[in-house]
C-alpha cells in the first residue's frame, strides 16, 4: 500500500509494517508566532506615524503591546510554546520599547541621557538574564522559570502572569503618556497659529513670507514636527496616565537592575566552578 513499507524475514513472512512518516510541523506558522508577526507589523506602522500623528501612533503601538498577552494565551491553548516564539516575543518587546525611547530622547533632549540609560538597562538586563539562564540552567531552561532561592523578586515577577502583564503594560503606558505629552507643549510658535491668509499677506516695506510648502519641504522634517505640535493635544489625560503608571514603571526598572545583578552573579559562580575544575588559580611554587 502507498505510504507504508512492509518488512519480511528470510522465509518471506511479513513481520511488520511502518506507518507513513508524519508531516513535519512548520514552527514559523504556529498561531502565537503569527500573532508575533502581527505585533511587528503594527509596531513598524506606529513608528511610521510617530513623528507627526500621535493618536494613530499611540493606537497602533498600544494594540501591538496588548497582543503580547494574546500570543502567550494562544501558545498554551494550542500547545505551541516554542523557543523561537519566546525569543521572538522578547526581541519584539525590546526593539519596540527602544524605538519609542529613542523618539522620547529626541523629543525631550534635556532628559535624553535618562532615556539612553533606560534603553541600556533594558537591553543589558534581559540579555544577561537570558544568557545566564541558557549557560547555567541548560538549553532547555526557560528564562521565566526562576528558582526562588536565587531571587524572590524575580520569582514573583515571572511566575505570576497577572503581575508580569501589569508591569509590562503600565511600563509601556508611561512611555506612551510621555510621547503624547511631547505633542502637548504649552509653548507655541505664534507664527504657526496665524491664519494662512494673514500669514501670506504682503505689507509695504517687507518681503513676502515664504509659502508653507517652502518652509516644510519634507513632511517629516523638524519644522513639520513643530507644526504638528502647534495643533496640540489636551495634556490632561496624558498627565493622568503618566502619574498612574510612573510607580509601576519605576518598579519595572528596579526589577531590571535586580535581574542584571542576579544574572551577573550567576555567571560569576559558573566561572568560579570552571576555574576550580581547571585548577586555577595556580599557587606559586615554594622556593
Cell numbers for 162: 497577572
The DSSP call for residue 12 is: S
Q: How many residues does the chain have?
A: 287
Phi, psi of 18 (to 5 degrees): -110, 130
Domain boundaries, the chain: 27-183+232-276
pLDDT digits (tens, 9 = 90+) for 157-183: 998 889 999 999 999 999 999 999 988
Three-state SS for 102?
helix
| pLDDT given at position 150 | 81
Residue 6 pairs in a beta bridge with 17
Interatomic CA distance for residues 233 and 275, integer angstroms: 60
Q: Which bin fits 3, alpha (ψ -120 to 50), beta or left (φ > 0)? A: left
Phi, psi of 19 (to 5 degrees): -70, 155
pLDDT digits (tens, 9 = 90+) for 68-124: 989 989 999 999 999 899 899 999 999 999 999 999 999 999 999 999 999 999 999
For the packed helices 161-181 and 54-77, what is the interaxial angle rounded to 10 degrees?
170
Active site residues: 93
Residue 8 pairs in a beta bridge with 14
Interatomic CA distance for residues 127 and 133, integer angstroms: 10
Out of 1.10.405, 1.10.287, 1.10.600, 1.20.120, the CATH code matching 27-183+232-276 is 1.20.120
What percentage of the chain carries pLDDT values higher than 70? 73
What percentage of the chain carries pLDDT values higher than 90? 55
Closest CA to 65 of 191, 200, 172, 181: 172
DSSP 8-65: E-TTS-EEEEEPPPPPPP-GGGSHHHHHHHHHHHHHHHHHHHTTT-HHHHHHHHHHHH
* Strand 14-18 with 5-8, pairing: antiparallel
Give the CA radius of gyration of the chain. Answer: 28
pLDDT digits (tens, 9 = 90+) for 121-132: 999 999 999 999
Give pTM, 2 decimals: 0.78
Closest CA to 30 of 58, 62, 71, 89: 71
| pLDDT given at position 287 | 47
Amino acid at each position: 500500500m502507498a505510504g507504508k513499507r512492509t518488512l519480511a524475514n528470510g522465509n518471506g513472512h511479513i513481520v511488520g509494517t511502518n506507518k507513513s512518516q508524519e508531516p513535519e510541523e512548520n514552527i514559523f506558522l504556529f498561531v502565537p508566532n503569527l500573532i508575533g508577526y502581527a505585533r511587528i507589523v503594527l509596531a513598524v506602522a506606529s513608528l511610521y506615524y510617530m513623528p507627526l500623528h500621535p493618536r494613530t501612533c499611540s493606537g497602533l503601538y498600544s494594540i501591538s503591546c496588548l497582543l503580547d498577552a494574546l500570543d502567550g494565551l494562544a501558545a498554551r491553548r494550542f500547545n505551541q510554546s516554542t523557543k523561537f516564539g519566546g525569543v521572538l516575543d522578547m526581541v519584539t518587546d525590546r526593539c519596540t520599547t527602544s524605538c519609542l525611547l529613542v523618539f522620547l530622547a529626541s523629543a525631550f533632549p534635556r532628559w535624553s541621557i535618562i532615556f539612553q540609560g533606560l534603553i541600556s538597562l533594558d537591553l543589558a538586563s534581559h540579555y544577561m538574564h537570558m544568557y545566564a539562564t541558557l549557560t547555567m540552567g541548560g538549553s532547555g531552561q526557560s528564562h521565566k522559570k526562576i528558582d526562588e532561592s536565587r531571587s524572590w523578586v524575580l520569582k514573583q515577577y515571572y511566575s505570576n502572569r497577572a503581575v508580569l502583564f501589569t508591569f509590562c503594560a503600565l511600563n509601556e503606558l508611561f512611555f506612551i503618556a510621555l510621547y503624547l505629552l511631547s505633542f502637548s507643549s504649552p509653548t507655541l510658535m505664534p507664527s504657526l497659529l496665524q491664519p494662512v491668509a494673514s500669514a501670506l499677506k504682503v505689507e509695504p516695506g517687507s518681503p513676502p513670507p515664504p509659502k508653507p510648502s517652502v518652509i516644510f519641504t519634507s513632511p517629516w522634517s523638524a519644522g513639520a514636527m513643530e507644526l504638528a505640535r502647534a495643533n496640540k493635544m489636551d495634556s490632561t489625560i496624558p498627565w493622568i496616565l503618566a502619574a498612574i503608571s510612573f510607580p509601576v514603571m519605576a518598579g519595572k526598572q528596579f526589577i531590571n537592575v535586580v535581574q542584571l545583578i542576579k544574572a551577573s552573579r550567576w555567571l560569576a559562580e559558573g566561572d568560579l566552578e570552571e576555574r576550580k575544575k581547571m585548577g586555577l588559580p595556580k599557587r606559586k611554587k615554594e622556593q
